[in-house]
Amino acid sequence: MQIISVNVGKRRQLTGRSFNGETGIFKEPVAAPVRVGEPGLESDAIVNTRHHGGKDQAVYIYRDEDYAWWSERLGRAVGPGTYGDNLTLTGLPGPGLSIGTRLSFGEVELEITAPRIPCNTLATRMGDPGFLKAFVQAERPGLYCRVIRTGSLAQGQTFELDHTHASTVTTIDVFRASYRKPTRQELELFLSAPIDFRTRADFEEQLEAYGT
């Protein structure tokens, strides 16, 4: 398991039918090591802080294997940073992993907290209003992580998975639940996992609606 690329973005203007404004979704691979702190990668732009970023969504990961799948599906090359990923990795066992699984890169350690829920920015970035539907159907959302140990990351570094803190809830479970009404039992299970604070707040609100 290895880092294919470390990707950092700057503020850019993006204009389309469903989005018009500044965004940090355009990530570019960098050759030099990048410092990773609790807020995320140093010098990486996070523009829409209401829906993105924060300590529980500090680093966004996408699998190189999933980019290969998209390249074949779309009939054009889609590669590192296209979907706004900070790290493009190879070797992860699948598009979904258990919430709480940790990725150890040596001095840096990340913990999986959530799947990526696509927005209009992504559709505009891809130049396709129907891309959100395709992204949801593909169930290859990528992984958001919190930073457990800070340090530097660079292309070519290897890493290992640590399942010590992993829950029974996967990112695909949470991804699917975001597009339907989960049961009370599902919500209680999801909330027992170390999910990100935005998803937690949403699930807590849904659980409260069920009443006591």
The token duo for 110 is 């990340």
Chain-centroid distance of CA 127 in Å reads 20
Nearest alpha-carbon partner for 196 in 88, 87, 117: 117
Asked, for residue 204, whether it belongs to a domain, the answer is no
Asked, for residue 186, whether it belongs to a domain, the answer is no
Reply yes or no on whether the pLDDT at 9 is more than 80: yes
Asked, for residue 185, whether it belongs to a domain, the answer is no
Residues 137-175 pLDDT 10s: 999 999 999 999 999 999 999 999 999 999 999 999 999
Asked, for residue 73, whether it belongs to a domain, the answer is yes
Asked, for residue 65, whether it belongs to a domain, the answer is yes
More confident residue, 127 or 15: 127
Specify the range with the lowest mean pLDDT, choosing from 12-16, 107-111, 142-146, 178-182.
12-16
Give the mean model confidence (pLDDT) for residues 115-124: 88
Mean pLDDT, the chain, as a whole number?
Answer: 92
Look at the pTM and tell me if it is higher than 0.85. yes
Asked, for residue 109, whether it belongs to a domain, the answer is yes
The CATH number of the domain holding residue 13 is 2.40.33.20
How far, in Å, CA of 212 to CA of 196, rounded?
24
200 CB contacts (<8 Å, ≥6 apart)?
191
pLDDT for the residue numbered 207: 93
Give the mean model confidence (pLDDT) for residues 124-141: 91
Where in the sequence is the domain holding 29, given as residue range(s)? 2-179
How far, in Å, CA of 98 to CA of 79, rounded?
25
Q: How many domains does the chain have?
A: 1
Asked, for residue 26, whether it belongs to a domain, the answer is yes
Give the mean model confidence (pLDDT) for residues 115-122: 88
Reply yes or no on whether the pLDDT at 212 is more than 70: no
Residues 166-205 pLDDT 10s: 999 999 999 999 999 999 999 999 999 999 999 999 999 9
Asked, for residue 77, whether it belongs to a domain, the answer is yes
Q: In percent, how much of the chain has pLDDT > 90?
A: 76
Residues 67-82 pLDDT 10s: 999 999 999 999 999 9
